[in-house]
Chains A and B, each alone.
Chain A
Amino acid sequence: MPRDRAGARLVLLRTRRVQEQPGYWRLAWRRFRRNRLAVVSGFLLLAFILVALGGDVIAPHDPYEQFLRRGGEVITDPLAPRDDGTFEGPSVAHLFGTDELARDIFSRSVLGLRISLGAALFLIVIVTTVGITVGVAAAAGPRWGDELLMRMTDVAYAFPDILLIILLRSAFGDTILGRRSVVGIDVDVLLLFFAIGLTAWPTMARLVRAQLLSLREREFTTAARAMGAGPMRIAVTHWLPNATGPVIVEATFLVPRAIFAEAALSFIGVGVTPPTPSLGVLISSHFSFVSVQWTALAFPTLILATLFIVFQFFGDGLRDAMDPRTRR
């Protein structure tokens, strides 16, 4: 009797093991969960997104309101301490202090986070859409189409990024269909990230194409072809799901790159136009006043650096989890 039970349990175990064969995503999730650095980054990222979404509730002040104190003496020495409300240090009323126009830097940073993250999301949508479309068309289409599309990516790849962005920024206006802002983000910010996206799609397209081509000689491709599936059907339903992991990883790494590009372009005056408080504008406009109030520069820079590190570790974690071949 006990023997029978043991035997039955063994059978049960075996069948359960077969049933519970974890899929790709579950395995990836398990690997990701084990990576402590990536999990912590994931939580921080979530916190950033929540702050960006709930910005109206979290920001204590209007990001454009000036907290000037009138009646003080006019100060002629630019290095003398001021008491007109500008460049105040961190305090309870103004967590990150105030800027050169006595605006609350904390509230501006919260809005800046929303602008930068929102625009980066917009960029990801553009780059993945274009990249996947071109990559799939190149891998599954006729030979001449592949040749043509790849030559196009060559051109886009060789076009100097910053120059293209500056040219596009100058050629575009700052309205779309006569509107100055779309879903709360200024059009000039969106156009800037659109321009950055135009420089980023070739990498994505090449990645998708390479991923798909590596599947061309696999048995399941032959099986699908034998069952009469056309090249587009094979590419979209059989190949594309296998390329999801690398695409997600590449998209994750795009975000810090785009946010950095925005900061750099705003710094040389061809990015976002003040007073819109993108992170780049915050850093570059507080830059020249660092000797007056260094915290004004330090806080936005810290936010940017944290964002970068969080995305880096999160992306590393995703890559290790989703592509076991390229561990570390």
Chain B
Amino acid sequence: MAIYLARRLLWTFGTLFSICLITFVLMHSVPGGPFEARAGEQGVSAEFVSAQEAYYGLGDPMPEQFLRMLGNLVQGDLGLSFAQQGQHVTDLMLDKIKPSFLLGVMAFAIVVGVGIPAGTFAAVRRNTVWDYVTLGICTALAAVPSFVIAFLLLLTFSVGLDWFDVRLGRGFGDSIGSLRNGILPAVALGAPSLALLYRITRSAMIEVLEQDYIRTARAKGLAPRELYLRHALPNASLPIVTLLGPIFAGLVTGSIIIESIFGLPGIGAAFVTSVGQRDYGMIMGTTLFYATVIIFANLVVDLMYPVIDPRVRAA
């Protein structure tokens, strides 16, 4: 177990290094440098551009630049932002990560809190009106793009009912009260994952409920509540937990579109801007942050397997 974990963690660095290299190559093959892009602006002279490029060593050979960046990265330093002069990328990123991460966690809570109970309920009441209604809602949630859902939510609850501020993004994450503003974005963000989790829970539960031991438990007069929650759900949990890793990673890293529609100043929106500005430090930092979230979400799921199903041994 310890050896397995050590190998996995070691390989995490290998993966991150590869991602780092690919990102480096890709972002430097985007035509135009960070300062060339601003060459046309007022007050930006050709001398300024070349001076800046020399200062940041952008004219150096690529391998040299890569090694220098890698050396700084190992020390946890992403360098200075090219776009927001004088600011450290790490500080900028921490600012932007907070709302995105909070939003992802809220969406995850909604997805798990609604998806699993709804799927269980639908499986228990299979082929009844409840089953069809929840199935219909979840199919619709998955079939409409999340930005359209976001927009409909905004139209209904902010404009129509006036329950929320229209400009939800302002100050999100600064205080406990501001978390309320995250409800609509979190619902919109989580909708497709919610539908997916619902489907998987439902089919896993239906499969388990057809097993003989469930019939036995029912025959000996076990209360339905006990039966479903203690006998059925734990045995259906393997496919559900498998899905939770990618879902969590997807919610934390996949909020670019939702951020842009609700005006949330998150890391996704910052990434799109930084690609446009060729802000290399920001691009690298965001990619590595997202990759780390994805890797660790999957690692946690893999480590959960033996806990859920003793037949699965990690190593």
Q: A residues near B, CB below 8 A?
A: 151, 154-155, 157-164, 166-168, 170-171, 260, 263-264, 267-270, 283-284, 287, 290, 297, 301, 304-306, 308-309, 312, 328
**A167→B143 contact, CB < 8 A:** no
- Chain B: interface size category: 35 or more
Query: Using Cβ atoms and an 8 Å threshold, which residues of chain A touch B268?
Result: 162
Query: Using Cβ atoms and an 8 Å threshold, which residues of chain A touch B142?
Result: 308, 312
**B26→A171 contact, CB < 8 A:** yes
A163–B290 alpha-carbon span in the complex (Å):
9
B223 at the interface (CB under 8 A from A): no
Interchain CB contact (< 8 A) of B139 among A168, A170, A270, A309: A309
Q: B residues near A, CB below 8 A?
A: 11, 14-16, 18-19, 22-23, 26-27, 29-30, 139-140, 142-148, 151, 203, 206-207, 253-254, 256-257, 260, 268, 271-272, 275, 283, 286-287, 290-291, 294-295, 298
Counting from the closest, the 6 A-B pairs by CB-CB distance are A160-B290, A305-B143, A308-B143, A155-B18, A170-B30, A167-B26
Query: Using Cβ atoms and an 8 Å threshold, which residues of chain B touch A267?
Result: 145, 147, 257, 260
Chain A, residue nearest B291 (CB): A158
A154–B26 alpha-carbon span in the complex (Å):
19
Chain A's nearest CB lies how many Å from the CB of B280? Answer: 11
Chain A's nearest CB lies how many Å from the CB of B154? Answer: 11
**B30→A171 contact, CB < 8 A:** yes
Could you tell me the dominant secondary structure of chain A's interface residues?
Answer: helix
A86–B19 alpha-carbon span in the complex (Å):
47
Interchain CB contact (< 8 A) of B148 among A155, A161, A164, A301: A301
Interchain CB contact (< 8 A) of B272 among A166, A301, A312: A166
Known: A158-B294, A163-B271, A267-B257. A301 touches B15 (CB 8 A): no
**A268→B19 contact, CB < 8 A:** no
A297–B15 alpha-carbon span in the complex (Å):
42
Chain A's nearest CB lies how many Å from the CB of B181? Answer: 21
Query: Using Cβ atoms and an 8 Å threshold, which residues of chain A touch B29?
Result: 171
Chain B's nearest CB lies how many Å from the CB of A289? Answer: 12
Chain A, residue nearest B139 (CB): A309
Chain B's nearest CB lies how many Å from the CB of A231? Answer: 26
Interchain CB contact (< 8 A) of A154 among B11, B148, B151, B283: B11
**A166→B271 contact, CB < 8 A:** yes
Known: A155-B18, A308-B143. 19 other contacts (CB 8 A): A154-B15, A155-B15, A155-B22, A157-B294, A158-B15, A158-B294, A158-B298, A159-B291, A162-B268, A166-B275, A167-B30, A171-B30, A263-B145, A264-B146, A264-B147, A267-B260, A268-B257, A309-B139, A328-B206
A166–B269 alpha-carbon span in the complex (Å):
12
Chain A's nearest CB lies how many Å from the CB of B302? Answer: 12
Among the interface residues B16, B145, B206, which one has the most CB atoms of the partner chain A within 10 A?
B145
Chain A's nearest CB lies how many Å from the CB of B210? Answer: 10
**B145→A264 contact, CB < 8 A:** yes
Query: Using Cβ atoms and an 8 Å threshold, which residues of chain A touch B206?
Result: 328
25 pairs from A and B in contact (CB 8 Å cutoff)? A155-B22, A157-B294, A158-B15, A158-B295, A158-B298, A159-B19, A160-B291, A163-B287, A164-B26, A166-B272, A167-B26, A170-B275, A171-B30, A264-B145, A264-B146, A267-B145, A284-B147, A297-B148, A301-B145, A304-B143, A304-B144, A305-B140, A312-B143, A328-B203, A328-B206
A238–B268 alpha-carbon span in the complex (Å):
46
Chain A, residue nearest B295 (CB): A158
**A268→B27 contact, CB < 8 A:** no
Among the interface residues B30, B143, B203, B260, which one has the most CB atoms of the partner chain A within 10 A?
B143
A312–B135 alpha-carbon span in the complex (Å):
13
**A160→B275 contact, CB < 8 A:** no
Interchain CB contact (< 8 A) of B19 among A155, A161, A297, A328: A155
Query: Using Cβ atoms and an 8 Å threshold, which residues of chain B touch A166?
Result: 271-272, 275
